[in-house]
């Protein structure tokens, strides 16, 4: 070893990298300092309203059930091939490619309802989740397309009202695998995914979102903190590669009445497990309605020296899998959150619609955002 080399040739930590879109980050910080920002609502609930057929989901490119533009290595379609064995109905993220006008229309409705930030239609656009549809190879492309559609919708809204910036939140979903838990109660050591596999998948998806023009990345609906750590690791790696970063939001999911995530953490433990990522915001979404999330948001609001977000479901699912909380119900509960100083960002998850977002935006209008505490470092 030569004496001139440092013992650890350390790459710059992501936090020291420049912003990829410094003007947009400045606008975002200015807006967060002024008011409670509004996130959009559910994508799935809105897509259901269009009652799409299998053919609608497939469009031309996927008319035969598989991707006409893609052939796996050394494969020729023909007798005995199973490429067309996947139904695409329900593959909502595929609509970024096959029904872009419909997705744009939903984004526009949420922007009109008062959303400052809209989430890309990419919740399942990881190679891992797309494997269920035989379309893992589309991960990067779906994320690019999803971010582009959202960016264009924001640009259109900004053109109408230049005083009000709108932001694209590039969504990274949890995948359908858990890195720290077994899916089989009889085989507790079983894992169906590794940390490295998650990192590879998240790297590809994050890159696609950034290439498509996302302003922020959000790791959301986190039920397993180890999955989220893989996403944080992958995002940092992509930022290093690009030499620039975006703000990152992280939102967990409390899945049971004991107030814990699926991997067993309280909101407090969840924050301290991910605090090293220095996110723009930490929050909770999905699974519960706003009322049941309140004690957990209260904890985050007290301990997190960053912004706090929440986008709850429209209550708990009913017997038919639907959601019953009206826009007024939800807005009334969330207004109290804001009056108690708990919120920096608020929106809706499953079952919410533009009417919910409109009611929430009106309910918190004029109320000050939560003051982000400067906590003494623990020594």
- Residue 56 in tokens: 């609608």
Residue 119 and residue 124: Cα distance in Å, rounded? 13
Select the span of 33-41, 85-93, 274-282, 343-351 touching Zn ion (CB under 5 A).
Answer: 343-351
Strands 281-289 and 307-313: parallel
CB of 78 to Zn ion, least distance (A): 7
Sole residue written with tokens 């996947």: 86
DSSP 276: G
Residues 6+ apart with CB under 8 A from 92: 43, 44, 47, 121, 123, 124
Count, residues near Zn ion per rule CB under 5 A: 7
Interface of this chain with Zn ion, residues 31 to 60, rule: CB under 5 A: none
CA distance 67 to 94: 11
Q: Is 168 a residue that touches Zn ion (CB under 5 A)?
A: no
Q: How far is the CB of 250 from Zn ion (least distance, A)?
A: 15
What is the closest distance, in whole angstroms, from the C-beta atom of residue 171 to Zn ion in the complex? 12
Q: Is 96 left (phi over 0), alpha (psi -120 to 50) or beta?
A: alpha
DSSP letter at 325? -
Residue closer to Zn ion (CB basis): 239 or 337:
337
Helices (H), 125-266: 127-130, 139-160, 195-212, 225-242
Q: Looking at 17, 70, 83, 192, which residue binds Zn ion (CB under 5 A)?
A: 83
- CB nearer to Zn ion: give 39 or 349: 349
- Residue 256 DSSP one-character state: S
In angstroms, give the least distance from the CB of 251 to Zn ion. Answer: 10
Question: x/- site string to Zn ion, residues 277 to 316, per CB under 5 A?
Answer: ---------x--------------------------x---
Please identify which residue in 217, 226, 308, 350 interacts with Zn ion, judged by CB under 5 A.
350
* Cβ contact 115:108 at 8 Å: no
The Cβ-side half-sphere exposure at 199, using a 13 Å CA radius, reads 11
Tokens of 77: 């379609």
If residue 101 lies in a helix (H) or strand (E), which one and from where to where? helix 100-113
CB of 184 to Zn ion, least distance (A): 25
> Is residue 349 a contact residue for Zn ion (CB under 5 A)?
yes
Sole binder of Zn ion in the list 11, 33, 63, 81 (CB under 5 A): 81
Binding span for Zn ion by CB under 5 A among 52-60, 269-277, 331-339, 348-356: 348-356
By the rule CB under 5 A, 63 interacts with Zn ion: no
Per-residue x/- mask for Zn ion, residues 138 to 167, rule CB under 5 A?
Answer: ------------------------------
Which phi-psi region, left, alpha or beta, contains residue 74 (left: φ > 0; alpha: ψ -120 to 50)?
Answer: left
Of 8-16, 223-231, 299-307, 346-354, which part binds Zn ion (CB under 5 A)?
346-354
> In the complex, which residues of this chain contact Zn ion (CB under 5 A)?
77, 81, 83, 286, 313, 349-350
């Amino acid at each position: 070893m030569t004496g001139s080399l440092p013992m650890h040739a350390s790459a710059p930590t992501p936090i020291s990298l420049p912003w990829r879109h410094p003007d947009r980050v400045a606008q975002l910080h200015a807006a967060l300092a002024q008011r409670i920002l509004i996130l959009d609502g559910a994508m799935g609930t809105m897509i259901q309203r269009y009652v799409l057929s299998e053919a609608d989901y497939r469009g031309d490119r996927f008319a035969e059930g598989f991707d006409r533009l893609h052939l796996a290595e050394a494969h020729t379609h023909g007798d005995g091939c199973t490429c067309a064995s996947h139904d695409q109905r329900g593959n909502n993220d595929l609509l970024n490619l096959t029904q872009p006008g419909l997705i744009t229309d939903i984004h526009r409705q949420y922007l009109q309802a008062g959303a400052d930030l809209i989430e890309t239609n990419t919740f399942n656009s990881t190679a891992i989740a797309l494997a269920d549809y035989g379309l893992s190879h589309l991960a990067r492309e779906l994320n690019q397309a999803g971010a582009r559609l959202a960016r264009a919708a924001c640009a259109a809204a900004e053109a109408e009202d230049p005083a009000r910036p709108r932001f694209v939140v590039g969504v990274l979903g949890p995948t359908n695998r858990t890195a720290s838990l077994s899916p089989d109660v009889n085989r507790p050591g079983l894992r169906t995914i590794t940390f490295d596999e998650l990192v590879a998948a998240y790297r590809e998806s994050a890159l696609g979102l950034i290439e498509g023009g996302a302003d922020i990345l959000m790791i959301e609906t986190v039920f397993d903190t180890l999955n989220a750590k893989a996403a944080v690791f992958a995002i940092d790696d992509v930022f290093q590669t690009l030499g620039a970063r975006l703000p990152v939001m992280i939102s967990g999911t409390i899945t049971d009445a004991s107030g814990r995530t699926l991997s067993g953490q309280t909101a407090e433990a969840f924050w301290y497990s991910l605090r090293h990522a220095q996110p723009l915001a930490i929050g909770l979404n999905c699974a519960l309605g706003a009322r049941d999330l309140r004690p957990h948001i209260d904890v985050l609001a007290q301990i997190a020296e960053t912004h706090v977000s929440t986008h709850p479901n429209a209550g708990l699912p009913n017997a038919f899998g639907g959601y019953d909380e009206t826009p007024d119900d939800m807005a009334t509960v969330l207004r109290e959150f804001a009056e108690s100083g708990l919120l920096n960002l608020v929106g809706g998850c499953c079952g919410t619609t533009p009417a919910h977002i409109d009611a929430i935006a009106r309910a918190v209008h004029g109320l000050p955002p939560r003051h982000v505490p400067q906590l003494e470092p623990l020594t």
